[in-house]
Amino acid sequence: MMKIPLLLHLLGVVVWIGGMFFAYMILRPVAVQLLEPALRLKLWQEVFSRFFPWVFLAVGLILASGFYMIMQMGGFANVGLSIHLMLAIGLLMTLIFFYVVFSVFSKLRNHIAKEEWPSAGDALGRIRWLIGFNLILGIATITVALLGRSV
């Protein structure tokens, strides 16, 4: 029965990709429009502090359910190219996310704590670029998933 693993997989995707889309396309332009730089940096620190634990959960659900479904289909030798592409892109996205959390976000928090606003702004810009790239990869993965299926 693949319905529960598929549901968990899709919920993880919705949380991660939907969260990135909201942050990048909705929250970011509003924050730039309404908040002065120091307050905007503090806002993003709090937003990421709340969003990243959900992404860790989403990544765990996506990977666990994805590997489970692959094994239920007989392993990697028995799945199509689209599954291999989804996995490769998903692993790249995960590595980028880990880099953001454990490197760049740590720098952002440190710069904010020391009120080093230009350096904090540089870190936020790096995070923004990486999240934008991950959003593109996520949309590409969804495209591969849908186009790779025989609908």
The pLDDT confidence band at residue 18, using thresholds 50, 70 and 90, is: very high
Residue 1 reports pLDDT greater than 90: no
Residue 93 reports pLDDT greater than 70: yes
Question: DSSP characters for 19-69?
Answer: HHHHIIIIIHHHHHHHS-HHHHHHHHHHHHHHHHHHHHHHHHHHHHHHHHH
What's the full length of the chain, in residues? 151
The pLDDT confidence band at residue 2, using thresholds 50, 70 and 90, is: confident
148, 129 Cβ separation under 8 angstroms: no
Model pTM score: 0.94
Residue 75 reports pLDDT greater than 60: yes
Residue 151 reports pLDDT greater than 80: no
The pLDDT confidence band at residue 82, using thresholds 50, 70 and 90, is: very high
